[in-house]
A and B are shown apart, each in its own frame.
Chain A
């Protein structure tokens, strides 16, 4: 029960006055980010990252992860009240959340959404608490071939599980790798693809890419959709909260199923968005009243919210233990770790105990604080959404520009952000997924160096990935994931022919 002792040590770290304050500031900022169009978990954290450079890493990660929890909570508010998902993972919440709000049950829907988010997160945090040290201890035995095999699995599962066309997922990912390769090659010291430009010496920073792709791209899309916020009124009374809480235990099967889906999709890089859809779909399929879905069923809010939050939280498990983030936001947090001088991976658990357990403890505390904050402050956020887009739009653009500039204090990056913004808009239109691009950009250097180290060990033979059972089985699994779309399309093509 070493974990329990460590966890209490973590609570001691996280419960300092300063850290609790940062937690609440983080939650409030996070909900704001989640509510506003164009600002999401990933680019919100990216923009605020430079502000934490002067903080201690523990305080910084507590604040940033709380922004992430806040954003997860915030997405639900716009979905239920305005039928506009503030975040992609809350799209499924609109299906039943908004009809409930139209029926005058907004406060029940919101209470159910927030509470299920909390339950999902708590389940995932418990899982992280007990699994992470095990995974980390296991991963200590990893050499370069094992690490590359795991990275390969991460990227191949993107292709295998993505809803977008596999070729486009592959292209987006390769673009990420290509951009990651620009600049100084850390092994040989050669300059790659800089073409004599001073601005390219350091390569492309993924923070700029995230701010442009998700921030500016999203603003352009919001403008195209011609947002008009016709929101439902909402105030959550204590009575509504209690009556909804009394109803929720009825859906324990749905909750449990959604928790499991969420954790699975969070650890493997499926992410919160597919998790929420999958969980909604399964809840509908196993329901006694499938036709009631989409017309205002509390269960239809419980399922996606639980899964989204469980996925969002468990995405931190591979990030902390293997240095492989399960979602774009986790990728940004990983970038933060590198900037603060911490090397993510199994050693983090032995060398930076305070940091790791402080973070895990703050996940518990942050979610409790988050639940209380959102339950009490819903009317404010609804009011913010009534501010016209002609004010919010340019303000968000200015904030994005500030965020892009502060990463390296370079004006070039602000221009680059615009370029990535256009790319984000076009990619969204043509169904090129953005998450693999960002993850490849973040992990590109790491994947390349573990690949090259493996090649050095083996003298250039790819057989090294199958030299032992561990890396062999991971690599095989990765290749299976890679050809999965091909196999499944062959399977469906054969079926009608057979019948």
Chain B
């Protein structure tokens, strides 16, 4: 599972801070631009649609600049260079997140029940080192409970794929 020759990857606080500040600035810029498009001044019948968001966007850009400059000023300090977590922790987070993304992609093509069953069973076998039978039973159990609760009891339909279609759902 863990290959020791793989270079440990992690991010330092300074880069994450800077990226996040850039993210805020970008959102702020989008908000300002859109407010200018829809009008941010006083129209004939009162404030135009962009009247309120315009200032929100401006505050975001100023705030992001403040944070960004702050981190640039301490760019080479010990604290800013420190990684946000150890490489080992980063790997753990990715081990959680990547399957999570695969599961969501799976939901689109296979439906939530099938994707959920595969996801839970695979995760248990991979991370928890459970046997395949136990993993499968737990996974199918969870999906069955969800199916009973949502489709049958509360009648809230969840996304379904080809397998459910086979059974007429």
Residues of chain B within 8 A of A54, CB atoms compared:
154-155
Tally chain B residues at the interface, Cβ within 8 Å.
65
A411 partner, pick from B30, B85, B108, beta carbons under 8 A: B108
Main SS of chain B's interface residues?
helix
**Cβ-defined contact, B56 with A167, below 8 A:** no
Q: Is the CB of B158 within 8 A of A402?
A: yes
Interface residues of B in 8-41 (CB under 8 A from A): 13, 16-17, 20, 24, 27-28, 30-31, 34-35, 38
CA distance A430 to B101 in the complex (A): 23
Cβ contact within 8 Å between A398 and B116: yes
CB-nearest residue of chain B to A194 = B34
User: Roughly how many angstroms separate A216 CA and B159 CA in the complex, as a whole number?
Assistant: 20
Question: Once the chains bind, are A394 and B49 in contact (CB under 8 Å)?
Answer: no
Assess the B49–A190 pair: CB atoms within 8 A: yes
Chain B residue, CB-CB nearest to A195: B34
A425 partner residues in chain B, CB cutoff 8 A: 93
Q: Which of A168, A177, A226, A452 contacts B46 (CB 8 A)?
A: A452
Q: Are A394 and B67 neighbours in the complex by a CB distance under 8 Å? A: no
A191 CA to B92 CA, complexed, in Å: 42
Contact in complex: A394, B120 (CB < 8 Å): yes
Judge whether A415 is part of the interface by a CB distance below 8 angstroms: yes
Residues of A396-415 contacting chain B, CB below 8 A = 397-398, 401-402, 405-406, 409, 411, 414-415
CA gap between A452 and B54 in the complex, in Å:
13
A409: which B residues are within 8 A, CB to CB? 157
User: Cα distance A174–B42 when bound, in Å?
Assistant: 22
Contact with A along B57-101 (1 / 0, CB 8 A): 101100110110010000000000000110001101101110111
- The smallest C-beta distance from B71 to any residue of chain A, in angstroms, reads 10
Interface segment among A82-90, A139-147, A217-225, A320-328: the answer is A217-225
Evaluate whether A391 and B124 lie within 8 angstroms (CB atoms) in the complex, with A181-B52, A193-B34, A455-B47 already known. Answer: yes
Contact of A460 among B31, B42, B49, B100 (CB under 8 A): B42
Q: Report if B4 contacts A (CB, 8 A).
A: no
Per-residue A-contact encoding for B91-130, CB less than 8 Å = 1, 0 else:
0110111011101100110001000100110011001101
Chain B positions near chain A (C-beta within 8 angstroms): 13, 16-17, 20, 24, 27-28, 30-31, 34-35, 38, 42, 46-53, 56-57, 59-60, 63-64, 66-67, 70, 84-85, 89-90, 92-93, 95-97, 99-101, 103-104, 107-108, 112, 116, 119-120, 123-124, 127-128, 130, 138, 142, 146, 150, 154-159
